[in-house]
Amino acid sequence: MTNTLERRLEAELEQFIRDGVYKRLNFLDSPQGPRVKMEGRGEVIILSSNNYLGLSAQPEVIDAGKAALDRWGAGTASVRFICGTFTVHRALESACARLVGTPASLSFVSAWNANEAVPATLLGEDDIVISDQLNHASIIDGIRLAKAITRCQTAVYRHSDLADLESKLTAARDRRVRLVITDGVFSMEGSIARLPDLLEVCRRHHAVLMVDDSHGTGVLGATGRGTAEHCGVVGDVDIITSTLGKALGGAAGGFAGASAAVCDYLTQRARPQLFSNALPPTVAASSIASIEYLEAHPERVTHLREQASYFRERLLELGFKPLPGETPIIPVILGDTSAAIRMSDLLLSEGVFVTGFGYPVVPQGQARVRCQISAAHTRDDLDQALAAFAKIGRQLGLI
Ligand SMILES: Cc1ncc(COP(=O)(O)O)c(C=O)c1O
């Protein structure tokens, strides 16, 4: 039996290699940062991490984790409701709620878990969840799970198409609860959800709006409070899920920000909360330090924005056509998957790490390399990366 399974898996893995979609892991031997030590490659400029603010190596963030290790030990050894809730969780949850502008929040070991928990816990058979077509995989799987567990209805609206959402909401007017879910920032496009319009449509249809702001938190808005701040609607979104594993220090963890009742209900009933250990205190403490750093240093967010527009403008000057946008996610469309993978490989041979994404992660014919800029990049880092883009772009006849 095992042999049959292994033979099939081995055959599929070989096919992945032949198709050029096999993912080889790159081992880093230094902290995550604008330049890392990559095993077998030496020093490499990273244009692919979610460390948007460079906080994963911020001394205050590291020190907070070390102090937490001494004070609370390595882990919780329990789920939240038994004996895994530490005082640091309460402090983290009030910091997350304050940051994103919700009355309360509840931490999870990942944003994936938060997105998996919310629809399956809050919805029932009489309800419907309506999702943007380009939402993140964790939302898609969270909805699949909700459908399997609760038998709720599901629907998908065309990406950012408010008229399509409106027609789905109209068709769902007999449902008890209509939950609309969107990413705040769409991670493959770098585009921003139209939150004021979404809120207006949702209010008119008495729908609940949930925003996954994993790529917006710490990144968008004058002070990094996310897509809601960018759009001028802080306090208006019903449920915000986000990660602690990107701009906020890049360790791990996630949270759901919402009303006290929603967070309490998730504490009572969300299965990833009930049956999986709580976030380690070290990570919780580092995340609090990240949030406090962000609150004290809004200029880091401004700097991130300046760095991203510098890189985007220089790419345009070189003759590349990055997708237009305002976020530090800068995709350069190359067409087919093999072109994106080749570009990424050649850039790595120049000491610049940029991931290539192809079908099925992005639509057929829209394979791309996706650059992610960090406030920690120096102009020197960005200029060196741009020189590599220019060299490889010419070599491949792209510019
Ligand atoms: C939009 C979005 N949501 C959720 C997640 C999952 O975050 P985490 O790593 O905290 O599970 C990601 C990570 O890639 C993401 O891009």
Query: pLDDT tens, 203-254?
Result: 999 999 999 999 999 999 999 999 999 999 999 999 999 999 999 997 899 9
Q: Is 391 a catalytic residue?
A: no
Residue 287, pLDDT score? 98
Residue 364 Cα to chain centre, angstroms: 22
Active site residue 187: yes
Is 309 catalytic? The answer is: no
378 Cα distance to chain centroid: 23
Rounded to the nearest angstrom, the distance between the alpha carbon of 329 and the centre of ligand 1 is 14
Q: Answer whether 114 contacts ligand 1 (Cβ < 6 A).
A: no
pLDDT-flagged residues of the chain (< 70)? 1-2
Q: Is 0.75 topped by the overall pTM? A: yes
Q: Is there a contact between 228 and 236 (Cβ–Cβ < 8 Å)? A: yes
Dump pLDDT digits (tens) for 313-330: 999 999 999 999 999 999
Distance, first Cα to last Cα, the chain: 52
Cα–Cα nearest to 184, from 194, 172, 171 = 194
Please, are residues 168 and 155 in contact by the beta-carbon 8 Å criterion? Answer: yes
Distance 174 CA to ligand 1 centre (A): 32
Q: Is the CB of 212 under 6 A from ligand 1?
A: yes
Tokens of 86: 């530490």
Atom of ligand 1 nearest to the CA of 183: 1
**Ligand 1 near 105 CB (within 6 A):** no
DSSP state of 55: G
What's the order of all strands across the beta sheet hosting 104-108?
104-108, 254-258, 239-243, 208-212, 178-183, 128-132, 153-157
In a 3-state reduction of DSSP, which class is residue 78? coil
Distance from Cα 372 to the centre of ligand 1, integer Å = 15
